[in-house]
Amino acid sequence: GTASFAGTLSGGNYFAVLFCCGGSETIYAQSDVFKVEAGASGTYVKTVASVYPEGVNILVNYRNPDLQDKDWIGIYNKGEAPGGPESIDWQYITADSGTVEFTTSLTPGDYVVYLLCCDGYNIKAKYNFKVADASTPTLVSSSMTYAANDSLVFYYNSPSFDPYDWIGIYNPGDVP
């Protein structure tokens, strides 16, 4: 399912937790840290979650201050490098930062997303992520960065769903 929170958090770093059964004793899943109203610098590529439920589109955030014509982002199986086997999916990027969405259905397993230069295989950045099957609890933030008043949207998979399962948002270092 999807849960959406009103955009009322102040600027900073946060993470979300999916809890079981109306309490805080059982944690099903935890999102990666995300930022509200952050100004990123440097080159990076990163999926909005380290673990995705099967069947969810893969969102990839990037920053590429040295943007070149035909820079691109590609998804590969973990252990494969650009220039070897073809990418599973790829897209050119036309701005120095943003988010691209991959709609290709990925089977459960480990993957790597690469930011590559100039229609070639020169690696600018990479990030590992995983796709889990329906039996694995997952919680995915829809973005790595939110503006001050954006709604916070999360995708979740709760195989042992209880009507009192809930999601909480915390600052990094907090213990749920």
pLDDT at 38 (0 to 100): 45
| pLDDT score recorded for residue 91 | 97
Higher pLDDT pick, 35 / 97: 97
- Cα separation, 118 vs 67, whole angstroms: 9
Reported as a single tens digit per residue, the pLDDT across 127-169 is 999 998 878 888 888 777 787 778 888 888 788 888 888 889 9
DSSP states of 27-95 as a string?
EEEEPPPEEES----S-EEEES-SEEETTPPEEEEEE-TT--TT-EEEEEETT--TTSSPPSEEEE--S
Q: Which residue has the tokens 């252990």?
A: 79
121 — pLDDT class (breaks 50, 70, 90): very high
Q: What is the pLDDT of residues 45-99, one digit of tens each?
A: 988 888 888 888 999 989 898 999 999 999 999 999 999 899 999 999 999 999 9
- Separation in Å, CA 149 to CA 21, 39, 77, 123: 29, 15, 36, 35
Q: How many CB atoms are located within 10 Å of the residue 136 CB? A: 16
